[in-house]
Amino acid sequence: MVAAPSAASVIALVEEHRPVGPDAFLLQLALPQLPDSLAPGVFAMLSPEDGSGPEIARPFSLYDCPGPNQVSFLIQTLGCGTRALAALPPGSAVRCTFPLGNGFQVAAAERTVVMVAGGVGSAPFLLYAQKRVALGAGANTHFFFGARSGERLYDRQAFASLAICSHFATDDGSLGFAGNVLAAVEAALADNTIPAEALFLACGPAGLLHGFASFARARKLDAWLSLETYMGCGYGVCNACPVPTEAAGALGAWPYARTCTDGPVFSLRDIQF
């Protein structure tokens, strides 16, 4: 885990919405300033400043830093919080508390990394992939990206255009491997495309993460997850995002960790999941 630089709560301006699927978009924001170095997996709490959203802001992993003082977030329109963000025209003010949480440690170039994402769970992995390419480690960086259908492999071109090994999987077989993304990972392990000693990172819907956790435990993989839970504040004051800890793990001194400040990236060894 990599701790985020201390967070600031600022007014960001909406620069662009770019649809990336039937139910998702990239929200590009301009911030007054940006920390020099941001770990993949850090997140922001976002809410419309005009009060058109709910009382509680929503957490989103940083997706990309497209330009100076620019950040983008991959957002699936699901409920009132994301709908309110989707409705903001360019120029609108967004309350943005950022950067929050502990991100993924970018592994040394010689170690193989396997990223496993479902749907908008791809969000923390674009930056990760960019950093691996910058290390010259694209060839041993694997990105497994699954969704129900090809059109829900949101912004897949952004990954496909990077010099990493991208593997797409769709439940309906419309693009790439036909089946669950974990089945694609299993097949890649079986044919030695990826080694079991790799660093495995996962982010996605609860079903995928639970499946991934069982899969990783059964094979004793070095596995890390970026969790999403309901969050009240995102900065450690409300205690509404507990995740049960593993007594023998690094967080075992207390029965719960906070997803926002102890995570959202956890080693599977440290949490009960």
Partner 1 sequence: MLRTQIGDLSLPSPLLTASGTFGHDPAALAFLQPGDLGALVLKTVTPEPRPGNPPQRMAEFPGGVLNAIGLENKGLDYWRREVAPQLEQVSMPVVANAGGHSVSDYVAMVQAFSAMRGVAAIELNLSCPNVQGGIQFSTDQNALAEVVAACKSQAQKPLWVKLSPNVGQIQPLAIAAAEAGADALTVCNTLMGLLVDWRRRRPILANGTGGMSGPAVKPLALRLVWEVKQVVDVPIVASGGARCADDVLEYLVAGATAVQIGTASFRRPQAISEIAQELRQILEQEDLSLQELRASLVWPNPVSC
Sites of contact with partner 1 (CB under 8 A): 6-7, 9, 45, 47, 54-57, 95, 97, 229-230, 232-233, 235-244, 254-256
Are 187 and 179 in contact by the 8 Å Cβ rule? The answer is no
What is the rounded CA–CA span in Å between residue 28 and residue 236? 26
CB of 87 to partner 1, least distance (A): 16
Q: Which residue number, 170 or 259, has a Cβ lying nearer to partner 1?
A: 259
Shortest spacing between CB 113 and partner 1, in angstroms: 30
Distance of closest approach, residue 219 Cβ to partner 1, in angstroms:
28
Q: Residue 73 or residue 145: which is nearer to partner 1 going by CB?
A: 73
22 vs 244, beta carbon nearer partner 1 = 244
CA distance 7 to 99: 5
Q: Among residues 130 and 226, whose Cβ is nearest to partner 1? A: 226
What is d(CA 187, CA 168) in angstroms, rounded to the nearest whole number?
13
Compute the least distance from the CB of residue 239 to partner 1, in Å. 5
Handedness of CA 52, 54, 155, 165 (dihedral sign): positive
**How big is the chain, counted in residues?**
273
- Shortest distance (Å) from residue 201 CB to partner 1: 23
Which residue lies nearer to partner 1 by CB, 103 or 234? 234
Exposed/middle/buried for residue 2 (C-beta within 10 Å: 0-12, 13-18, 19+): middle
